[in-house]
Structure 1
Amino acid sequence: MLCVTGNERSVAELVRRIESAPEVGLHEVRLDLLEGIPSGVCGRLPGREKLIVTCRPKREGGGWDGAEERRVRRLREAVEAGVGWIDVEGSTPGELLEELLGMPGPTRRIVSAHPAAGDGETALGVLARLGAHRAHVLKLALPIEDAADLAALRDAAAATRRKVVAIGTGPAGVLSRVAYRAFGSEWTYVAADERSRTAAGQWTLAEARRAGLDRQAPRVYGLLGGPAALRSPGPRVYNALLSRSGQSAAYVALPTSRPGPVLELLRAEVLAGLSVTMPHKEAVRDLLDEEAPSARRAGSVNTIVPVAGRLVGHSTDGAGALGALGGPAAVAGRRVVVLGAGGAARAVARALLDAGATVTLAARRSGRAAAVAEALGAGWVEWSEAAALPFDVLVNATPLGADGVSCPVADAATLAGRVVLDLVLDPPRTPLLRAAAQAGGRAISGLAHWAHQGAAQMRLLAGLALDPADLLRAAEAPAGGEG
């Protein structure tokens, strides 16, 4: 069930929002955000049986900074008006809280908590504390900065054995909002529109409907990576394409430093599959049950598909690089320098070697470059020597350039007449690519690689036949421009 919320400042705006979507299961009324709360306002609102009325204090992230007695009086008026629900914080002073919970009438009660980041109390501890009160539903909105913590949130909700709404707030917690049924939640909160979001990570009603959240549990795919996962075009582009495919499905970013708990969510079928990006492409290998030939040859994984209860790793990075460079024929017999020695560098170097290129690796950690080169049968040089090498193609598989300032090549003149592929996605036009273009080289954006590897990846994950050119156009379009 969907609960539509908003940040309306006037009663008129609130009424318009409720009347614009009468078919949804619930509407949240944020009294704390209204500019002045007219006496008896809840009795004048349409669809009272579908309303969740709350008046959240500033100590829990809301807008109310008045006296507790006045705040509780507003909620008491909502109960007297016969609204469907009230949401009252467990931190409300004891006598006032018990008064609200004990009032007669059909209004159901939610007891909630909205801890601040760094509070230190566990999800299980918060829900146990809320569970001491008489309530129909326990609601926890817990800040999530690492997606691995979503596993503990889900476990806590299950252990409570009460009706709950368990939300991981923030961009890293989106999975709990989209796969809310898998987290044991009775409903999920969605914003009326883009301007009405009341919390980070909240989807809009339109986004939720496109993914089918109002009809059934969607298949949810995720992007497992570091903080840069939040800047990937994947969620924006794939969610648009998945909705057009007719699937009830969604794609979310899962930034984490601990991939293990996220893979447990995949095993538990909370997730339907994973894309994997830096820095986890090699680390996840030990957490899988099986590797496809593409992953074994690449020595890294960028796609994880569950098959009959087993997690199988694949790699589409090498195929993506070849596609971006124009195919195997475009690199056969060419001299290629690959900068980096991580998972993406391994996969790209393997594919280039298989296509007949001569490959030399260079990395800031020379020992790492030497080990990877030996495993692949490629050459390697010290990082400081890479610029002096004769080459036809340069591939940057390091994060250098993601800050918009650093460039892995000091002398732009060495790029004249060369092909340069930079795997950095954001910014799409890195200092290296700008230098290559200015020197007369051919500059290929990381988005081209992303589009080619992504088309192969989504075929494995969701069975979609996507054209890399369409993916590239969607990725390059401004946010909101993909339809």
Structure 2
Amino acid sequence: MTADVYGIIGCPVGHSMSPEIHNLAFQDLLIDAVYHRFHVEKRDLEAAVKGIRALGIKGVNVTIPHKEDVIPFLDAIDETAARMGAVNTIVNEDGRLKGYNTDGQGYIESVLPYLDKELSEISCLIIGAGGAARGIYSAMAHAETGRVDLANRTPSRAYAILESCSAPVSSKVITLDQAQCSLTDYDLIIQTTSIGMSPKEQAKPISLAGIVPGTIVSDIIYNPVKTVFLQEAEKHGCRIVSGVGMFIYQAALSFRHWTGKMPDVKAMEAVVLQKLGGSKIC
């Protein structure tokens, strides 16, 4: 019997830890399948998608820079992917390719254990206005979060996110300076930019001076596990959430789209943390 094939397409993709966690999940659930990395240049994206059909690859994850560009080559996308304008998961249904996006819901799943109130009672600040911010904003808005504000260096990009979301949610756009001066207004602060990862490991998007101890501070970066931003939050007595959780949950939700089964997220997390040399942040 030939194992089913899954994988991840991106450029670059050699650093991805997705094969380790998905292959572990296949093994744990006794599913005869294997997951590979597929480096795909932008010019070859359409051919790669045709290859998914031709080779009978059962499903793939899509990462940078293909999440938006892949959409025209698919047969359908679900409502969440349509709202976000991006796909991170493709399911091959007998040659018909359907796209999904699990990033936003993956983030929500990762942060829920840290919340001591319902989402409807939470006031949230998202720092950044890129693709990750758009996905998280959309997911939080559709989950009926009480308030979701956006802070970005370029306000027009943040306004574009607000205008593209159909969910009725209390929101406003503020500058990074305004965000730094209004930290006490928020229960949850989410850092979605690349600031804090290589080559900007020592940088922070804003200072957290004056933040209320106990505030939940989240960074979607997972390498390093504890960014300088999270280190500062911890010094101020905040509860911190690394990006490992979002990475694991978006992967687990992709896995469920492919197989109908939810993998062991704790086992997945252990693999990632071992490889990163980190430890669970509580």
Give TM class, smaller chain.
0.7 to 0.9
> Counterpart of 2:179?
386
Map 1:296-375; keep pairs closer than 5 Å: 296-326=82-112, 330-357=118-145, 358-375=147-164
> Counterpart of 1:252?
36
Q: SS in structure 2 opposite 1:283?
A: coil
Contact 1:363–1:383 at 8 Å: present in 2 too? yes
Change (3 A) 1:468 1:247: closer
Q: Which amino acid aligns with 1:276?
A: V
- The runs of at least 4 aligned residues of structure 1 exceeding 6 Å deviation read none
> Counterpart of 2:75?
289
> Counterpart of 1:58?
none
Change (3 A) 1:466 1:365: same
Distance 1:387 1:278 in 2: 30
Distance 1:474 1:293 in 2: 31
- Cα offset, 1:349, TM superposition: 0.9
> Counterpart of 2:53?
267
> Is 2:9 the partner of 1:224?
yes
Contact 2:196–2:202 at 8 Å: present in 1 too? yes
Contact 2:19–2:35 at 8 Å: present in 1 too? yes
Q: TM-score, normalised by structure 1?
A: 0.50
> Is 2:252 the partner of 1:455?
yes
> Is 2:235 the partner of 1:430?
no
> Counterpart of 2:191?
396
Q: TM-score, normalised by structure 2?
A: 0.82
Instruction: State the identity as a percent.
Output: 29
Q: SS in structure 1 opposite 2:36?
A: strand
Distance 1:225 1:401 in 2: 22
Change (3 A) 1:252 1:401: farther
Q: SS in structure 2 opposite 1:253?
A: strand
- Cα offset, 1:250, TM superposition: 1.8
Larger deviation: 313-322 or 378-387?
A: 378-387
Q: SS in structure 1 opposite 2:70?
A: helix
Equivalenced residues, count: 264
Contact 1:232–1:425 at 8 Å: present in 2 too? no
Change (3 A) 1:462 1:330: same
Distance 2:11 2:118 in 1: 32
Q: Please, what is the CA RMSD of the aligned residues?
A: 2.5
Q: SS in structure 1 opposite 2:186?
A: coil
Structure (1 or 2) with the larger CA radius of gyration: 1
Distance 2:187 2:49 in 1: 40
> Counterpart of 1:194?
none
Could you list the per-position Cα deviations for residues 383-442 of structure 1 after superposition, in whole angstroms to 9, with x for gaps in the alignment? 443323332211122222112222222344437432122111211111122111111111
Could you list the per-position Cα deviations for residues 185-222 of structure 1 after superposition, in whole angstroms to 9, with x for gaps in the alignment? xxxxxxxxxxxxxxxxxxxxxxxxxxxxxxx5432222
> Counterpart of 2:279?
none
Distance 1:250 1:364 in 2: 42
Q: Which amino acid aligns with 1:287?
A: F
Distance 2:245 2:96 in 1: 31
Q: Which amino acid aligns with 1:236?
A: E
Unaligned segments of structure 1, at least 5 residues: 1-215
> Counterpart of 1:91?
none
Change (3 A) 1:270 1:299: same
Q: Which amino acid aligns with 1:381?
A: I
Distance 2:149 2:35 in 1: 36
- Cα offset, 1:443, TM superposition: 0.8
Change (3 A) 1:395 1:280: farther
- Cα offset, 1:369, TM superposition: 1.6
Could you list the per-position Cα deviations for residues 113-172 of structure 1 after superposition, in whole angstroms to 9, with x for gaps in the alignment? xxxxxxxxxxxxxxxxxxxxxxxxxxxxxxxxxxxxxxxxxxxxxxxxxxxxxxxxxxxx
